[in-house]
Structure 1
Amino acid sequence: MPLTKQTILITGAGGGLGSTAALALAKQGASIILLDKSIPKLEKIYDAIIEAKAPTPAIYPFDLAGATEVQYHELASTIEEKYGHLNGLLHSATELDAFTPMAIHSTMAWGHTLNVNLNAVFMLTQVLLPVLQKAEHASIVVTSDSFVREARAYTGAYGVSKIAVESYAKILAEELSDAGKIRVNILVPGPVNSPLRKKAFPAEDKNKLPEMNEISPAYQYLFGKLSIGTTGQTVDARTFKL
């Protein structure tokens, strides 16, 4: 298994794409740290990984939007103490309230969405960088959205956060490129039959969309040896092939 002895943390691990990535990477031999605020969802993907006879994952209940800076540092310390280093970090947690005109966008929804989709990516990456730097090679992957990669009306805080998080990933990739240890890339899953897609486009015929497990090869590539040396790039799961 190509990811044996690799430890990878996945945010939003109880969600559709997060759980898909967790299972795909675990089947490749990785030890997965499952992070989500929903314990029942964490338990569900935990059981799926165990059923697949993959390495036993760790469950870490964590509220990305509500956590304090101290709690972020405690998370990093816990991972360092247990594993010594971290080989991968997948930012898969995503918040989408609704498509709303800016003129009537709720300030509460705006703040919450930016906290999950952007601020948490910054804070979690920052506290985990020292742990990632202890690995021979490490991969950070930020999840974007093909629908909002360019500014679109009514996408509100969700659209702003996804555009901003791509810029964040590219800036970080540039800053870390000289050391050559940590690669930072962007994954664009494309339209897939996911819970988020159902919420965003409820009237769409989901039978015409790819299933979530069809993008597993993109996750396996981004956290595997084949992507070492590739940084600051955008991988579109719709066109990607191993």
Structure 2
Amino acid sequence: MLTHDDIRNFTPAENCLQGKNILVTGAGDGIGKTVALAYAKYGATVLLLGKTQSKLEAVYDEIEKNGGAEPAILPMDLEKTQFSQMQELAIMIEREIGNLDGLLHNAGILGALTPLEMYDPAMFEQVMKVNFTAPFMLTQAFFPLLASANSGSVIFTSSGVAKPRAFWGAYALSKQGVEGLCDLFTQETQKTTRLRFNCINPGATRTQMRATAFPSENPNTLKSPEDLLNTYIALMSDDTIGVKGQLIDLQPK
């Protein structure tokens, strides 16, 4: 069994994701974009899901420019999408692509940093839908496709405030919930399928969300999304087939 340090320090073999179809949510920018490009570099066909068509098209173009397998663009606003639409997407993927080997739940929104007693209920609902309910619904909609893969892998994105931390409101609660999703899916499937569910806490990373949460912070003191790639690749590769129900913390010690 690989240790957390093994996964954090994983050295990807060339084409270690060859032949895999991997869907990445929030693929238009930030960590999602960086990881999608890396998955394509290592041989995967990447399904780019996000709400901004132009951003997805830019990632698509970059993958093609780099010589990767032709990706797919899946425009979807997770806040507004109904479960039936996610089911229709799963049917389309099965018809057009055939199978789904991996799902990275990366999309997320910050919401407000304010006491719960002052938190706007509409914003609370929005954050919970994008960060928590949508990952649950997508996983359920794609479950048959993922379970039929030789080594299906689902990665949830957690956070250091998932404990949770005061004033982080819906964001902290949604990330606490995501860790629970990972745990429950693992408990319920580990003896009946080859599926694996794991969480990654990226830690403080140079992204727009981080800049919004900490506007006075010098971004040059933070790691970049590129610094996280080995772990994201490891958990999608066949090298980690036995790794299930883990939270891999990439926050520097």
Q: What TM-score, normalized by structure 1, do the two folds share? A: 0.96
> Deviation of residue 190 (structure 1)?
0.9
> Deviation of residue 85 (structure 1)?
1.3
Match of 1:185 among 198, 203, 219: 198
* Residue deviations 1:99-158 (CA, integer Å, cap 9, x gap): 111111011100000000000011000010001112111000000112x12121110111
Equivalent residues in 2 for 1:46-65, closer than 5 Å = 46-65=60-79
> Deviation of residue 180 (structure 1)?
4.2
Match of 2:212 among 166, 184, 199: 199
Return the alpha-carbon distance in structure 2 between the equivalents of residues 121 and 175 of structure 1: 17
Q: Is structure 2 residue 148 aligned with structure 1 residue 130?
A: no
Secondary structure in 2 aligned to 1:45? helix
* 8 Å Cα contact 1:180-1:229 kept in structure 2: no
Match of 1:228 among 226, 241, 248: 241
The structure 1 segments of at least 4 consecutive aligned residues displaced by more than 6 Å after TM superposition are: none
Return the alpha-carbon distance in structure 2 between the equivalents of residues 237 and 222 of structure 1: 13
* 8 Å Cα contact 2:203-2:252 kept in structure 1: no
Return the alpha-carbon distance in structure 2 between the equivalents of residues 9 and 28 of structure 1: 14
Return the alpha-carbon distance in structure 1 between the equivalents of residues 214 and 65 of structure 2: 32
Unaligned runs of at least 5 residues, structure 1: none
Equivalent residues in 2 for 1:9-48, closer than 5 Å = 9-48=23-62
Match of 1:163 among 156, 161, 176: 176
Aligned residues: 239
Please name the residue that 1:139 is paired with: 153
Please name the residue that 2:7 is paired with: none
Q: Is structure 2 residue 84 aligned with structure 1 residue 76?
A: no
Return the alpha-carbon distance in structure 2 between the equivalents of residues 211 and 125 of structure 1: 28
More contact order relative to length (CA 8 Å, sep ≥ 6): 2
Q: Is structure 2 residue 224 aligned with structure 1 residue 211?
A: yes
Secondary structure in 2 aligned to 1:204? coil
Return the alpha-carbon distance in structure 2 between the equivalents of residues 152 and 136 of structure 1: 38
> Deviation of residue 179 (structure 1)?
2.4
* 8 Å Cα contact 2:83-2:141 kept in structure 1: no
Please name the residue that 1:176 is paired with: 189
Return the alpha-carbon distance in structure 2 between the equivalents of residues 43 and 201 of structure 1: 29
Match of 1:99 among 102, 107, 113: 113
* 8 Å Cα contact 2:159-2:175 kept in structure 1: yes
Equivalent position amino acid for 1:189 in 2: P
* Residue deviations 1:157-198 (CA, integer Å, cap 9, x gap): 111000111011111011110024100000111111111111
Return the alpha-carbon distance in structure 2 between the equivalents of residues 46 and 199 of structure 1: 27
Q: Is structure 2 residue 120 aligned with structure 1 residue 109?
A: no
Q: What TM-score, normalized by structure 2, do the two folds share? A: 0.92
